[in-house]
Amino acid sequence: MDYFLGIDSSTTATKALLMDELGHVVGVAAVEYGYETPRPLWSEQDPHLWWQGTVAAIRQVLTNTAVPPHHIRAIGLTGQMHGLVLLDKHGAVLRPAILWNDQRTAAQCDDIRARLGKERLIQITGNDALTGFTAPKILWVQQEEPDVYAHIAHILLPKDYVRYRLTGEFAIDKADGAGTILFDLKQRDWSPEVLAALEIDPAWLPPTFEGTAVTGHLSSDAAEATGLPAGIPVVGGGGDQAANGVGVGAVVEGIVALSLGTSGVVFAATNRPAIEPDGRLHAFCHAVPGKWHFMGVMLSAAGSLRWFRDALAPGVEFGDLVQEAETIPPGSDGLLFLPYLTGERTPHPDPLARGAFVGLTVRHGRAHLTRAVLEGVAFGLRDSFELMKGAGLTAVTQVRIAGGGAKSSLWRQILADVFNAELVTVNTAEGAAYGAALLAATGAGAFASVEAACNAAIHITGMTSPGPQSASYQTLYPHYQALYPALRPTFQAIG
C-alpha cells in the first residue's frame, strides 16, 4: 500500500500525519515548541524549531506505525500563515520569524494604504492591510532593521522554510502566497504593482505553485535527517486554513467549513476571485487548483463560553452549563450577547470592540446568560456568511463544523437554526495536516483531483437540520446586528 505524509508547522507544534492510499489516517505524531514575545505586541519564533520539529515528528510517526519509509509516495506541507522568514544569499536565517499574531506593524499598515490607496489595495489583493499579514512585516524590517534588510536574498513563509530544508528549493503555494497581500488575487501570482509600491525586490520572492504541484524532491541531507528515502516528491500544499478546508471537504461552492474553537473561522470555497469591497473578509487563493476562498474570523467563539464559565460559573462543567440552557427558549427571553471579548476581526475589524449582555432583567438567571452566549456567537458567525453572500457567494447548502464547540448538540442546533442551513460533522479531525496529505496524494496521482480525493476520503458522521425555532432567530438577528453600531461610540470612549 502507498502512504502520504502531511506536515503541519503550527505556532506551537509540528505535526506529522501519515495517511494510506484510501484516505485513512494510520498515525499522527507531534513535537511541541514555544515562541517568544520579546517586547509588547511582538511575537517571534526561531525557524530552526520548525525543522527540528519536522525531523522529530517524521521519525516518531514512522516508529509508531512501522510503515516502511519506501512506501511513502509524496509529502504535503501546511502551517501557520503570514509569518515572515528572511534568509541571506547562503540560505541562512537573518532574524527570528515575525509571526501571524505579531501586532507591531500598525504604522506600516497605514503606510501601505497610503502608498496604494485602500480601495486599490483591496481590488488587487482582495484584502485590506492588517497587522497579521506579511507585507507590513517586510516594511517594518525595511524601516526599523535596515542592516537586516540589506542582506535579504529570500523571503519565505514558515512552511516554505521547511520545504527549503526538505528539498533545497525555494517555492510557495498560491494559497499562502495570497496571504502575504503581495499577490494579485485574480492572476494567482505576485503583483508587480504592489511590489513596486512597497519597494520589494521581486527576486526575493519564490516561484508560486498550485497546492497539488510538485515543488521539489527530498534531498539526500533531508533523507538522512528524517529517515525517509531521497527523491520523494514534495507538493505545494497550502496555508493552514486552506489545507483545513481541504481536510474537511470545503472544496466546492456551497459547502462551508466552520471551525468552532477558541476563535471561530468561516471558510468558503469560491469558483472565482470574488472580494468583499471593504475588505471585511479575507479573500485568498485556495489550495485547490484554480479556486479561491473567503474567510471570516471571529476572535472569541468558544472562547466566549470559556470566559463565561470561568468568570461566572467556576468549576461547573461545560456540559452542565449547556444542559441548563436547553430549558430556555430562543432569544433567551429578550437577552442578547455581543461576543467581542477580545476585540473583533469580522465583520468589524475593531480592536476596541467589547463584549456585552443587552436586555438583562431580574427574570434572567444563569441558564439565560449561557444560552445568550451560545446564540451571540452563532449570530456573530452568521455575519461572515452574510458578507460572503453579499460578495457573490452562492447559497450555502451545507456547513461542516469542527472544533471543541461542535461537541455540543444544543450549540449545533442553534447554529443550524441561525444559519438556516444544514450542519454536519465529518469523519476527519486532523484538519490541516490531513488536508496536506490529501493534496500530496492528489499530486502523486492517487486521486484524479482534490475534489475526488475529498469525496473518497471524507464522510458525514452526523447531521443537524434547521428546526422550527429557526424562524425566531431570523427575526432576532437584525436586533443583534444593530448592537455594534449603537455601542461603538461607547466602546471607543472607554477603550
Distance CA 404, CA 12 (A): 18
Q: Which amino acid is at 134?
A: T
Return the closest-CA partner of residue 185 out of 295, 292, 269, 294: 292
For residue 471, the tally of other CB atoms under 10 A from its CB is: 13
- Give CA–CA dist 380/417, Å, rounded: 14
Specify whether 240 is catalytic. Answer: yes
Question: SS3 for 257?
Answer: strand
Q: How many CA atoms lie within 13 A of 295 on its CB side?
A: 26
The answer to whether residues 128 and 118 touch, using CB atoms and an 8 Å cutoff, is: yes
What's the CA gap between 348 and 351, in Å, rounded?
A: 9
Residue with cell 533531508: 222
List the catalytic residue out of 20, 160, 184, 240: 240
Question: What dihedral angle (degrees, nearest 10) is formed by the CA atoms of 179, 182, 188, 191?
Answer: 170
What is the rounded CA–CA span in Å between residue 283 and residue 181? 10
Rounded CA-CA distance 253/241 in Å is 16
Cα–Cα distance, 222 to 215 (Å, whole number): 15
Q: Which of 311, 356, 357 is nearest to 494 (CA)?
A: 356
Which residues does the annotation mark as catalytic?
A: 240
